[in-house]
Amino acid sequence: MYLWFKLIHIFFIISWFAGLFYLPRIYVNLAQLNPQNDTAEYARLLGMAQRLYKFMAPLGYGALIFGIAVPFAAGWWGQGWVHAKLLLGILLFGYQHICRAHLRRFEQHACRHSHKYYRVFNEIPVLMMIAALYLVVFKPF
């Protein structure tokens, strides 16, 4: 079962991260527009963001579920690196919910941040992915 859980977990992670990487890039573009002046472009980008969020949100649940199942199936549950990686997964899940809050603000034309903020915000999942990969490959503790 371990290899099946691992395969499914990797599938969910790859798919989820595609959304986690791209959604804030759409936010960068939305933040550069004035929703009153650029209505067609704003509506197009907003629609893209809404559809992407609906696609990626369930993938996060799958990633977490199988991210918990893999260490149980492999007998790794008591190792510290597994708990650290799970914490990163939970933080990424929180990041996804922050993305949803930003999306709601864009839907209400109430964006409070500049495109520069979203450029930095976009780097958070990259850093967390690097940390998770380090934990999985090196199993430092």
Q: List the binding residues for heme.
A: 9, 85
What is residue 116's DSSP assignment?
A: H
- State how far the Cα of 62 lies from the Cα of 1, in Å rounded to an integer: 16
Write the Ramachandran bin of 75: left for phi over 0, alpha for psi from -120 to 50, otherwise beta: left
Annotated binding-site ranges: 9, 85
Site of tokens 């977490």: 64
What's the first-to-final CA gap in the chain, in angstroms?
24
Is the CA virtual torsion 94, 87, 135, 140 positive or negative? Answer: positive
- State how far the Cα of 116 lies from the Cα of 41, in Å rounded to an integer: 19
Q: Which two tokens stand for residue 57?
A: 């949100």
